[in-house]
Amino acid sequence: ATYNSVSSLSSVDISTSFLTAPEILEENLPYLIYGTAWKKNSTSNLVQNAVMNGYRFIDTANQPEHYNEAGVGEGWTEAAEALGLNRNDFYIQTKFSPLNSQDSNNVPYNKTAPISDMVVQSVHGSLQNLKTTYLDVLILHSPYKTMENTLTAWRAMESLVDDGTVLRIGISNCYKYETLTKLYDSARIKPTILQNHLKTIDFDPRFLQFTRNNNMDYQAFWTLTANKHHLQM
């Protein structure tokens, strides 16, 4: 959904009648996650508006080329303050984006560091950007070309679960079924989320079935954009 930016929160009809993220999850209710890619300098205002209009689940990434993560932090905290909400009323999810998916002139971690250090540095930056001490979910934005490097990043993500910085971990843009199953089998802390582009004309049902069999959430993105033919009358 898209919301028009506002000059101040005072112009918004503030309501606290919406359920919090924990309440929604406890009741096993369906929900939408507010995506924050490509909003640039409008990110803060758009996230404010989303929260004021009931969104309690937010997705972002520490990938400056496509996401303004600091704007997400500003947006949700300002709206939360106006609504009298706390951090634990929200579900905040971000991603570690491997080096090959970053703008080489704007990488949010040391480009020459080992992969495990890149993950930790990226997450520490995310915590600062998002004005939080923990993440509900950390997602590997895409697998590496080799399973060895993918697992190296995953081990670093597991360590962040161990120390309480991250509550759950998952993977995105994973379109090779063997990569998903190998990661799952090799992981000490199993992925609980698969976030993939949903395009019905080439959808592989094995992925959805795998998430159901292993108590994982399947998060679909570009669901409407990629399937406009279903909307044509």
Closest to 189 (Cα-Cα) out of 220, 219, 218, 160: 160
Dump pLDDT digits (tens) for 26-48: 999 999 999 999 999 999 999 99
Closest to 78 (Cα-Cα) out of 53, 52, 42: 52
- Distance, in Å, from the CA atom of 220 to the CA atom of 205, rounded to the nearest integer, reads 13
- Token pair in block for residue 190: 């199993």
Dump pLDDT digits (tens) for 115-158: 999 999 999 999 999 999 999 999 999 999 999 999 999 999 99
- Token pair in block for residue 229: 């033919």
- Distance, in Å, from the CA atom of 119 to the CA atom of 152, rounded to the nearest integer, reads 10
Whether this model's pTM surpasses 0.75? yes
Neighbours of 21 (CB within 10 A): 20
